[in-house]
């Protein structure tokens, strides 16, 4: 088994297309296919369902994919560590952030780039589950996400901020004398909330369930910008 064969397999799983995977790896499609076949022979199991085109991973392919990603990520981290010990950090730093934490990316990025002038910062929006998966697959360098409720496993974490709930409505939407919103008021109000794929929404739903109630929003979105528009 060779690292290049694992790279071919991970690229195929990511691209779900042999030609695009070969292009990503910088090899010809026959070379990529031969490497995949050699990996399957070494492992004794078929990893990719295929006829003339990609048809999905087999159960064995699904099972080893996280391991292949971690092996490649660990090798990349090892090489980065050796480079860092000899010279200042350089290249692109990949940061993923949940929508609720995107306001923190400026402060984080400023501190990171001030201490490491040779770095450039790339920021992507993602859900907490996508960040957790990307961290374990070594597809990003760091993530800004929640540390409670569904904490990422096997990661180093530092608390950067605390979240508080705000009830936002038009000035004429409720009694102008109200300065605090009770949960009963919130539940009885037509709401625009984040989609349930977003962890904040799952935290809110869990809070409501603990109070013996639930929320049925009038509109959902995966973006605060859309909700506040």
The 10s digit of each residue's pLDDT in 186-207 is 888 888 888 888 888 888 888 8
Domains of the chain: 3-80 (1.10.10.10), 88-163 (3.40.190.10), 164-229 (no CATH)
CB count, 10 Å around CB of 88? 11
- The CA distance from 50 to 222, in Å, is 35
Mean pLDDT, the chain, whole residue set: 83
Tell me the pairing of strands 219-221 and 54-57.
unpaired
Enter the DSSP assignment of 152.
Answer: P
Task: Tell me the CA end-to-end span of the chain in Å, nearest whole number.
Answer: 53
143 forms beta bridges with 96
- The CA distance from 66 to 59, in Å, is 13
- The CA distance from 38 to 53, in Å, is 18
The 10s digit of each residue's pLDDT in 51-73 is 777 888 889 988 888 888 878 77
């Amino acid at each position: 088994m060779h690292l290049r064969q694992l790279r071919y397999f991970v690229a195929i799983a990511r691209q779900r297309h042999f030609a695009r995977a070969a292009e990503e790896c910088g090899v010809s499609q026959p070379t990529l296919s031969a490497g995949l076949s050699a990996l399957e022979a070494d492992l004794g199991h078929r990893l990719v369902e295929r006829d003339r085109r990609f048809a999905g991973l087999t159960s064995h392919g699904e099972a080893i994919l996280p391991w292949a990603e971690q092996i490649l990520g660990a090798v990349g981290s090892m090489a980065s560590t050796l480079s860092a010990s000899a010279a200042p950090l350089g290249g692109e730093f990949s940061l993923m952030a949940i929508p609720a934490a995107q306001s923190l990316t400026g402060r984080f990025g400023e501190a990171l780039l001030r201490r490491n002038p040779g770095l450039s910062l790339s920021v992507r929006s993602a859900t907490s589950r996508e960040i957790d998966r990307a961290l374990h697959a070594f597809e990003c360098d760091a993530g800004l996400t929640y540390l409670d409720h569904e904490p990422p496993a096997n990661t180093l974490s530092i608390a950067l901020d605390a979240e508080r709930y705000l009830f936002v409505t038009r000035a004429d939407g409720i009694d102008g004398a109200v300065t605090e919103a009770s949960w009963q008021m919130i539940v009885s109000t037509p709401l625009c909330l984040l989609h349930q794929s977003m962890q904040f929404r799952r935290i809110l739903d869990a809070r409501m369930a603990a109070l013996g109630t639930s929320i049925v929003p009038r509109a959902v979105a995966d973006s605060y910008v859309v909700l506040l528009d």
